[in-house]
Amino acid sequence: MSRIYLHREVYDELARYAGEHLPKESCGLLGGREDESGRHVEKIYYLTNVDDAEDHFTMDPKEQLAAVKDMRALGLTPLGNWHSHPDTPSRPSREDVKLAHDPGASYMILSFMTEHPVLNSFRVTDGEVVKEDLRIFSDEHPDW
């Protein structure tokens, strides 16, 4: 199982942003680095959902390009993407699986179905979904 790390402050920012855009789905990209311990998300990019929909998303292509250019300028690697599910679980929908074309990407899904947002991360290869070991850590607990 692959491991992916996300700082608590970055998670809080992501949940706040996506919560502000409910009931629409929010979306974006993940930038960071990868080493023997796993993937480390260092920056989340917030992109426009050009579909402006509650049950699917399409990222703005110009914003995607700008985000990838920014990652390169910062020495970050594109790690994958994220989107929210306003009222469904934190797992890929059939449409999410169908549109997951990069087996090397992490696909994070933030669900607002319950009182507290739930974030999970997945890899999708040839329609097979595998959950990643997502570690949300803080400065007080850096070894998580």
Express each pLDDT in 19-78 by its tens digit. Answer: 999 999 999 999 999 999 999 999 999 999 999 999 999 999 999 999 999 999 999 999
Q: Per DSSP, what are the bridge partners of residue 107? A: 81, 122
For the entire predicted model, the pTM comes to 0.93
Half-sphere exposure in the Cβ direction for 30 (13 Å, CA): 25
**pLDDT of 142 above 70:** no
- List the beta strands (DSSP E) in 48-105: 77-85
**pLDDT of 143 above 70:** no
Express each pLDDT in 96-132 by its tens digit. Answer: 999 999 999 999 999 999 999 999 999 999 999 999 9
Mention every residue, 6+ apart, whose C-beta is less than 8 A from residue 102.
80
**pLDDT of 18 above 80:** yes
Q: Report helix, strand or coil for 125.
A: strand
Q: Report helix, strand or coil for 11.
A: helix
pLDDT at 2: 87
- % of the chain at pLDDT higher than 90: 94
pLDDT at 140: 77
**pLDDT of 144 above 60:** no
Q: For residues 70 and 137, what is the distance between their CA atoms, to the nearest angstrom?
A: 25
> What is the residue type of 44?
I
Half-sphere exposure in the Cβ direction for 65 (13 Å, CA): 3
Q: For residues 121 and 109, what is the distance between their CA atoms, to the nearest angstrom?
A: 6
Q: Is the dihedral of CA 66, 67, 69, 73 positive or negative?
A: positive
